[in-house]
Amino acid sequence: MADTAHPFVTVRHDWTKAEIAALFDLPFMELVYRAATVHRQYFDPSEVQLSQLLSIKTGGCAENCGYCSQSAHHKTGLKASKLMPVDEVLTAAKAAKDGGAQRFCMGAAWRDLKDRDVPALAEMISEVKALGLETCATLGMITADQAKSLKDAGLDYYNHNLDTSPEYYADVVTTRTYQERLDTLEAVREVGMKTCCGGIVGMGESRADRASFLHQLATLPAHPDSLPINNLVPVSNTPLGELSKVKGGVTPVEFVRTIAVARIVCPKSMVRLSAGRNEMSEELQALCFMAGANSIFVGDQLLTTANPERGTDAHLMQSLGLRPMTM
């Protein structure tokens, strides 16, 4: 790696696992400095994108993701629901915009999108887009034809996380292959839609897994436009929720390291603090912003987990001198 004042300012797709592992091993202050330097090459460090997420179809998912309260494989007590009516989604989207959100994300607990649901979703997306919001959806695996229909309706971003490294993946989920996740991302890119793709830390994975996970993102044909980093929120009666009671999650410093490395290897991506922020101190979040995070979810709910209240986030933004990103 070059030893210059600004060693990581170009967008690369040829990162090696060894290079990324070496970043994780840097002294903490040096790593954060390098990430902050890269961040300033592409973004205003005082600006944060505000997104809001709504579960438009909750529970009953056929996947067996070990972290998820919505899986039909786990007895978490979550009641499954049908797809929300368009007018209810619109009401939530208007409230999100009035609350300062710039992007509205819609999530459905499906393994894959069925063609029969595309017309309702297209109407939903079109109406939300008409409000002046950026639109994002996470609906499971989709085909290129489905992706084109959603893009034509006004969908700006499609979220499909890799979750973790290829090596640790089978410890997280077995009902969908890693390649199927990559195929969905390819279908989204083929139609010219932006991708939102990240993962979860604190699931019992090693640092080597975190490096391998970021290597996957850094070597994609196009880096994710949005890159969410979730910190596991343990859910009782899920495999990874129970495992966390034994192994614990990542330390705050290790979480910041993950944010910093993500910023360096995907320098133009929006790096989002996602699930788990409700359990983070202001000081930890400040370190994450310093290390290159520049997007958060606002609103008091993330699908089925709690998120900081608006007043809490307003205080955080004010105390750190942050402002909403200019669209």
Helix (H) / strand (E) element for 134: namely strand 134-138
Alpha carbon distance 230, 250 (integer Å): 11
Alpha carbon distance 253, 287 (integer Å): 9
Backbone angles phi, psi at 146, to 5 degrees: -65, -40
User: Cβ(50)–Cβ(99) under 8 Å?
Assistant: no
What would the two tokens of residue 6 be? 């600004």
Residue 114's contacts (CB-CB under 8 Å, 6 or more residues apart) are none
CA angle 63, 230, 212 (to 5 degrees): 85
Residue 258's contacts (CB-CB under 8 Å, 6 or more residues apart) are 201, 210, 214, 229, 250
Q: Give the count of beta carbons closer than 10 Å to the beta carbon of residue 282.
A: 13
52: β partners: 104, 298
Residues in the chain: 327
- Report CA 3 to chain centroid distance, whole Å: 31
Q: Which residues are catalytic?
A: 61, 65, 68, 105, 136, 196, 272
Residue 116's contacts (CB-CB under 8 Å, 6 or more residues apart) are none
